[in-house]
Amino acid sequence: MRKNHFAFVEVCELLLRYYKTNPSRLRPTDRMVAHTGFLVFARKIEPSLMDDPRGADLAKEIIGIEEEY
C-alpha cells in the first residue's frame, strides 16, 4: 500500500462465533464454526500534496516516499 502512496495503514481482524444461551450461563456452541474477516483502513496521499514542501516532508516521515514528482 505504501508503494501506491497510502498512509496511516491499520488492519483489524474480526471473528464471528456463535454462542448458546442457557438460563444459567452463556457459552460458545459445541462445534466451532467461526468466520474471520479483515478490515484494512488507509488514507491516500495525493500526488498534489508532494508539490507542497510541508506535504513532501510529511510523506517522507509517514510512508517513506523519497521519489521526485
Question: pLDDT tens, 1-58?
Answer: 777 878 788 899 998 888 888 888 999 888 877 778 999 998 887 766 556 666 666 6
How many domains does the chain fold into? 1
Instruction: In whole angstroms, give the CA distance from residue 53 to residue 40.
Output: 29
State residue 69's pLDDT score. 41
The partner residues of 7 in beta bridges, in order of sequence, read 43
CB 36 within 8 A of CB 15: yes
Give, for 61, the enclosing helix (H) or strand (E): helix 53-63
Does 68 map to a domain? no
Range of the structural domain that residue 51 is part of: 2-63
Does 22 map to a domain? yes
Does 19 map to a domain? yes
CB 59 within 8 A of CB 5: yes
